[in-house]
Amino acid sequence: MIIGIDLGTTNSAAAIFRNGDIELIPNRYGDYLTPSVVYLDGQQQLVVGKHAKARLKTEPGSVAAVFKRAMGSDATFTLAGKKYSAVELSALVLRVIKDDAEQHLKTAITEAVISVPAYFNDHQRKATKLAAEMAGLTVNRLINEPTAAAMAYGLHNKDEESNFMVLDLGGGTFDVSIMEYFDGVLEVHASAGDNFLGGEDFLDAFVGAYLRQFELTVGELSADDLRNVYQNLQNALHKLSVSNSVVIPPMLDKADREIEITRDDFNHAVMPLLERMRQPMERAIRDADLTLDELDQVILVGGATRMPCVHALVAQIFRKMPTRHLDPDLVVAMGTAIQAGLVAKDEALDDVVLTDVCPYTLGVAIRNHSAFANRQGDSFSPIIERNCVVPVSKSSDYSTTVDDQELLDLRIFQGESRLVKNNVYLGGLEVRVPKNKAGHEQVEVRFSYDMNGILEVDVTVVSTGEKTNTLIDNSGKELSPAEIKSSREKLAALKIHPRDDELNVHLLHRAERLYEIMLGELRESLRQAIAQFEQILSQQNPDVILSAREGFSRYLDDLEQQVRV
């Protein structure tokens, strides 16, 4: 059985295609969204999901979030004094999603289709696959998030030809893809985006604008005050999506008066972020060689697209109202489920051919003949330019640069800068050439790139016909089997709360909230019930705990009913 997973910056979700339809998979709390947040306390007790998110502002030194942005990099996150990579943290999220799926589907899950931002480079895609491997999952396919969203909207089943744009603004990344559907083919024409732009940035801008009214900064606030500000402004942001203004009550010693924030105030605060959204959209249109009138539809994906300012920006640029009738938080997971069904050759799905593009330019380093070469370093010579439909194979010729040169050091990069120092190094190889005067020996360098992110490099020495070849699989930093084993052991050593334990924690939190609003005999009765349940938990007998939890849950149901009455 193959499931689809949307591994998101803010939230993650899973789904499966069975019985002819998409089925979203609930987590242990019955929610379809699992916050991509990891919490580790001083006793190495690990929590992933909404209870970890609840500690995000109160215990920032023990919580990691938004680590998807660091995928494919050497960045680390410190939890309870220990360092973890973005890959390891993502593996923990995937492991929880895998466990929840197995519990819901009553079967072991070992295979998955996982979505990634279209603008993820090859290092980041490799990191995503590695995280899945650490979580015990084999990745059958990485699917770009906008492509998954398009499949969820059924655009692959349209009878007529159509051009459309998918705008995916999630918690931490922004993706733009322009696609065309024709004759059973879903073809990507162009991709662009920003891996460091998302809903979290809009909230940060809102918080900053609010604090400036009191001449405060985030760095001046305590952990409790910061949590309070973020929670209140997150709620205010949700209200601004349905009303033109919201009143924010006093919440800090120095913010001792209520403030009315209008939608225009918020739009002004986030104007720089909206301008950052505009640039990838315009670049994708140019790269696809389309006019605005040739776009039949603009689809909004990602929870942050609920903001009215995003709707207004899209309507202003494209002169048409965007489409968003599916849940923007879940639409990518739905699309991954369809792709998983296609991989599994589900009879209820018609075959669809997916074509993709190379999101970044691929090329080699060459000598920089600029007068500023010593400060700038080598130049970048593109071979496969961004947004070429893959699979693709292209070649360029290069000459020796000094007399009697015997060795050509070919360094391969990915990016858009004219200088290699600003691009991503993928790998390299050395090629022997006959001694000759500078410029008299040439090599043909051919790049071949496929949908799985595999770059094959063939170099032919023109004068001798000798060939050299190398393969860069997903172009990321490879970990040895020993390094992968070490990471797995490191994660396995953490004391993961078992499913039942997390449900018990959730039940106790629910009881504590009830205790806070009750008085008199009901409050004393609840205190005794909590103490009794905690005593049963301390005995660590799974059967007894299961029975007690069911009874305690019914007891809380009755109390909540009395409160409502």
CA-to-CA separations, 501 to 205, 313, 421, 504, 506, in angstroms, rounded: 37, 46, 49, 5, 9
pLDDT the model gives residue 72: 86
Residue 448 has pLDDT above 80, yes or no: yes
Is residue 390 situated within a structural domain?
A: yes
Q: Among 329, 357, 385, where does a domain finish? A: 357
CATH number at residue 422: 2.60.34.10
Q: Among 324, 357, 390, where does a domain finish? A: 357
* Burial of 179 per CB tally in 10 Å (0-12, 13-18, 19+): buried
Read off the pLDDT of each residue in 484-497 and give the average, rounded to a whole number: 67
Instruction: Identify which has the larger pLDDT, 321 or 504.
Output: 321
Is residue 203 situated within a structural domain?
A: no
- Contacts (Cβ under 8 Å, ≥6 apart) of 554: none
Distance CA 60, CA 80 (A): 10
Residues 310 and 384 grouped into a single domain: no
Residues 322 and 452 grouped into a single domain: no
Is residue 267 situated within a structural domain?
A: no
Percent over 70 (pLDDT), the chain:
92
pLDDT in tens, 204-220: 999 999 999 898 998 88
Residues 170 and 84 grouped into a single domain: yes
Q: How many CB atoms lie within 10 A of CB 57?
A: 18
Read off the pLDDT of each residue in 169-181 and give the average, rounded to a whole number: 90
Total structural domains within the chain: 3
Residue with structure tokens 């190379």? 358
Instruction: Identify which has the larger pLDDT, 437 or 228.
Output: 437
pLDDT in tens, 325-368: 899 999 999 999 999 998 888 877 777 777 778 888 999 999 87
Is residue 465 situated within a structural domain?
A: yes
pLDDT the model gives residue 182: 84
Confidence of residue 123 (pLDDT cuts 50, 70, 90): confident
pLDDT the model gives residue 476: 43
pLDDT the model gives residue 466: 94
Residue 437 has pLDDT above 70, yes or no: yes
pLDDT in tens, 462-488: 999 999 998 876 434 456 677 767 776
Is residue 371 situated within a structural domain?
A: yes
pLDDT the model gives residue 44: 73
Percent over 90 (pLDDT), the chain:
47
Is residue 41 situated within a structural domain?
A: yes
CATH number at residue 76: 3.30.420.40
Torsion of CA 158, 161, 163, 165, to 10 degrees: 10
Read off the pLDDT of each residue in 270-279 and give the average, rounded to a whole number: 95
Residues 348 and 377 grouped into a single domain: no
Alpha helices per DSSP H over 386-541:
481-492, 499-517, 520-538
Confidence of residue 221 (pLDDT cuts 50, 70, 90): confident
pLDDT the model gives residue 498: 46
Residues 166 and 291 grouped into a single domain: yes
Is residue 250 situated within a structural domain?
A: no
Q: Among 322, 357, 392, where does a domain finish? A: 357
Residue 428 token pair: 């390299």
Q: Tell me the whole-structure pTM to 2 decimals.
A: 0.74
Residues 324 and 448 grouped into a single domain: no
Read off the pLDDT of each residue in 481-499 and give the average, rounded to a whole number: 65
Which range, of 120-124, 190-194, 389-393, averages the lowest pLDDT? Answer: 120-124
Confidence of residue 565 (pLDDT cuts 50, 70, 90): very low
Residues 132 and 110 grouped into a single domain: yes
CB 145 within 8 A of CB 193: no
Read off the pLDDT of each residue in 232-245 and give the average, rounded to a whole number: 91
Residues 351 and 386 grouped into a single domain: no
Alpha helices per DSSP H over 271-349:
271-288, 308-318, 331-343
Read off the pLDDT of each residue in 161-188 and give the average, rounded to a whole number: 88
Residues 190 and 289 grouped into a single domain: yes
pLDDT the model gives residue 370: 64
Is residue 349 situated within a structural domain?
A: yes
Residues 416 and 560 grouped into a single domain: no
Read off the pLDDT of each residue in 414-441 and give the average, rounded to a whole number: 91
Residue 11 has pLDDT above 60, yes or no: yes
Structural domain that includes position 521: 498-564
Residues 334 and 394 grouped into a single domain: no
pLDDT the model gives residue 4: 97
pLDDT the model gives residue 533: 87
pLDDT the model gives residue 129: 93
Residue with structure tokens 């776009």? 295
Residues 278 and 379 grouped into a single domain: no
- Contacts (Cβ under 8 Å, ≥6 apart) of 302: 168, 169, 170, 171, 198, 199, 328, 329, 332
pLDDT the model gives residue 564: 60
pLDDT in tens, 522-532: 888 888 898 88
The rounded radius of gyration (Å) of the Cα atoms in the chain is: 27
